[in-house]
Chains A and B, each alone.
Chain A
């Protein structure tokens, strides 16, 4: 279906059949406004006649956006409990004073964000700008015509285009493209992927036993755990977390690239590009190696079997109280682990290890450069301020000045610059663990570093890392020698195919999740791996792969 735009009179919208609160897959059949003005294919020109009120005549890279008259944009706002929205935030005041921009805010709490987004967009009631949307979440809204194809409008966003070119984002963006060759999300960019996840270990014990914090391979890491087990036979060398929706999802996410597969949070729909075609990750040899490794850890008593099922708090309790000596973490969570240990009054010391290399090499997962972004509702294109909106969004989310503003705030008020790429937070303000005892909070009291207005912590390497603690910087540094895996080629499905594969995907994935648990816990022997693969084949895995591979070829031919 081609998505076209024209000023609508009264488009009839019939919204039907939304699975109650199914975040994905709200099938919305919207009578979308269509016209025959040749559409606005990429490179084609959109007619801004009457829609350029407030827009700047000359706006380009390096220009500060300021609307020529006060403009108000509708914003669908994700309200975060750590920093509840406050109309008096300095962020809003500054945007009004300098950019001439105010917002008409519709807010939804974090706990209901995804559901509410589906509902409001499905009912055709979405504000102009829909914030906090992760790559892939936009797909369910494409068919209804309720959101604008971002790729048609990025040409009017000079900073966006500039970053895409400078950072070589095209291949990443290709992964977002739908059947019609367009993409519908304005994503957040990362200049470089930033590793955040690894294992936290008890560094005091590692030191005592003379173990390295940069184990070369997973084999060596297992060897370390054995050494720990010998020294402390009553404890589990390792426990783990992120098992709320499946077995150790966070951990399998950062471990799997080294086994040449994808798992846990990275699993997505289970597709893995082997260089020639897509295969199903859950049935691959790499996945088997990974599961086998964890099964071995459990069998030898090196990994707490409860890691597969317990909730995060239980894992932290074990780790903080010294019943387990290692567990998965990321560079922010480790701060919380530390404060828990401190409050318990033990003198345990913890740190992050470098993620070891695996049988498939020393890898880091691909596709980590696109993160949460925003969508524009179709109605936005009818607004008289449409061009001004595009310019403003370009400035706020993609220009160096806007990125710095959204993350750090106002120079001389919330921070001071110390040289080119060093920001110093005002000593009365705390943020992300900096100045922990300061009375004011950059997020809660000023509105900066807010996930709605700053994507990926600022995009550029300098900004992205500007609030990291030295420990996290060291971790990023140690991980930087890993090879980032190649992105898979795009394989966008059409609507019928998407519906068909969605029937396969969830049952396949459920089966993989269940058996991942069973294999790791030893409830199912690894000898039965082939039976398990056969079970997956019986669940339409070949049909699923055929559809995806056909779509990949189709896309490659037409582009």
Chain B
């Protein structure tokens, strides 16, 4: 808005409609979250009778006590934290070093290395061969099965490479003249000036590792090793499909977990990541723009 010039009527109308739309979309996206939060503090009867929307009915916090008293939940929660931290650390080291090397135009065979990286974006060995590979490496039921296979996300790698390509070459040359080695340049000059991209990548990785369950499902078969996402999935699992069971579902064979227990578990699972978001929002925005404009 420029000072002194009044908005035209049509522009005002446009802004009102805009605001209404944005509020509506916010509500639509937030409602499921708020509903789960409301359910977490409600008693099961009210949930089952469909009376819980945004305000908790039959307010109680006993469910929290119930979920938190399950040692397996905390164990899996701890696993998730460990897996996320270790996997993110490994992923950052590998991705940063790979991206930095690829960003150097004088690298011999650069196109080839980029080629093999990009190739894996579109092709992979498939489920069973991967399973056999991890198994043969002896990674099954170890943390390595979780943190190694997905250590480099090619998308993140390319974003980082683009950022390093835009890094002013003069700086690096100056540092080289002052006697820094290649490693010195990377560690003392380039990385300290790349906080934005590093923060973004840490976030991308951490969020994806925190939410991931598929690798755990593939390579872990002991419940005390599961991340909390698998715990949650198991809790939310309805009885295995009706088809094969027909009328054969027996007493106690169909899993029924109270709706409020599900809600509490979901809430506790997403809480840490949700709490992080507001603080790192700005990095996400800059992260997405990285490398989009060439100097």
Contacts and interface: CB of A to CB of B under 8 A. Distances in A.
Interface of A: 15-18, 20-21, 26, 28, 79-85, 106-116, 119-120, 122-125, 134, 136-137, 195-197, 242, 244-245, 249-250, 253-254, 265-266, 268, 313-314, 316-318, 320-321, 330-332, 336, 340, 342-344, 365, 368, 371-372, 431-433, 443, 449, 451, 456-457, 467
Contacts of A457: 250-251
Given A109-B230, A245-B241, A122 B128 contact: yes
Given A123-B131, A249-B242, A81 B223 contact: no
Contacts of B45: 340, 342-344
B259 interface: yes
A12 to B, nearest CB: 12
Contacts of B187: none
Contacts of A318: 50
Given A21-B127, A109-B223, A110-B255, A265 B247 contact: yes
Nearest to A318: B50
B255 A81 contact: yes
7 contacts: A20-B127, A28-B128, A109-B226, A330-B249, A432-B251, A432-B252, A456-B248
Nearest to B259: A313
B135 A125 contact: yes
Contact of B240 (A113, A342, A467): A113
A451 B218 CA distance: 23
A112 B217 contact: yes
B110 interface: no
Interface stretch (B79-87, B142-150, B231-239): B231-239
- Residue among A81, A114, A317, A372 with the highest chain B CB neighbour number at 10 A: A81
Interface of B: 43-46, 48-50, 72, 126-129, 131-132, 135, 217-218, 221-223, 226, 230, 233-238, 240-257, 259
A110 B222 contact: no
Nearest to B45: A343
A85 B223 contact: yes
A15 B128 CA distance: 7
Contact of A110 (B135, B240, B248): B240
A226 B288 CA distance: 62
B39 to A, nearest CB: 11
A418 to B, nearest CB: 21
B73 to A, nearest CB: 10
A137 B244 contact: yes
Contacts of B127: 18, 20-21, 119
A472 to B, nearest CB: 9
Given A81-B235, A85-B223, A107-B223, A15 B49 contact: no
Nearest to B70: A84
A432 B250 CA distance: 10
B256 A112 contact: no
A119 B131 contact: yes
Contacts, number: 157
B240 A343 contact: no
Contact of B251 (A197, A320, A467): A467
Contacts of B234: 79, 81, 109-112
A21 B127 CA distance: 8
B237 A451 contact: no
Contacts of B257: 81-82
B252 A330 contact: no
A479 to B, nearest CB: 12
Nearest to A122: B128
Contact of A320 (B48, B72, B247): B48
A332 B253 CA distance: 10
Contacts of B48: 313, 316-317, 320, 340, 343-344
Contacts of A365: 247
Contact of A116 (B217, B236, B246): B217
A250 B223 contact: no
A470 B153 CA distance: 59
B248 A317 contact: no
Nearest to B43: A343
Contacts of A21: 127
Nearest to A346: B49
A119 B240 contact: no
A332 B238 CA distance: 15
Nearest to A20: B127
Contacts of B132: 15, 123-125
B252 A111 contact: no
B233 A111 contact: yes
A438 B28 CA distance: 44
B245 A134 contact: yes
A343 to B, nearest CB: 3
A20 B126 contact: yes
A83 B201 CA distance: 40
A343 B128 contact: no
A330 B249 CA distance: 9
A441 to B, nearest CB: 10
B252 A449 contact: yes
Given A137-B244, A330-B247, 13 more contacts: A20-B126, A81-B237, A116-B221, A119-B127, A125-B132, A244-B242, A320-B49, A340-B44, A343-B43, A344-B49, A372-B248, A433-B251, A449-B251
A407 to B, nearest CB: 11
Contacts of B251: 331-332, 432-433, 449, 457, 467
A268 to B, nearest CB: 8
Contacts of A336: 256
Contacts of B49: 317, 320-321, 340, 344
A99 to B, nearest CB: 24
A123 B128 contact: yes
B127 to A, nearest CB: 5
Nearest to A79: B223
A321 B252 contact: no
A150 to B, nearest CB: 18
A61 to B, nearest CB: 26
B250 A456 contact: yes
Contacts of A265: 242-243, 245-247
A80 B244 CA distance: 17
Contact of B255 (A82, A266, A313, A343): A82
Q: Which 4 residue pairs are nearest across A and B when measured between Cβ atoms?
A: A343-B45, A111-B237, A317-B50, A109-B234
A249 B248 CA distance: 14
A276 B132 CA distance: 48
A381 to B, nearest CB: 22
Contacts of A313: 48, 50, 259
A15 B236 CA distance: 32
Nearest to A188: B248
B50 A314 contact: yes
Contacts of B253: 80, 451
Contacts of B259: 313
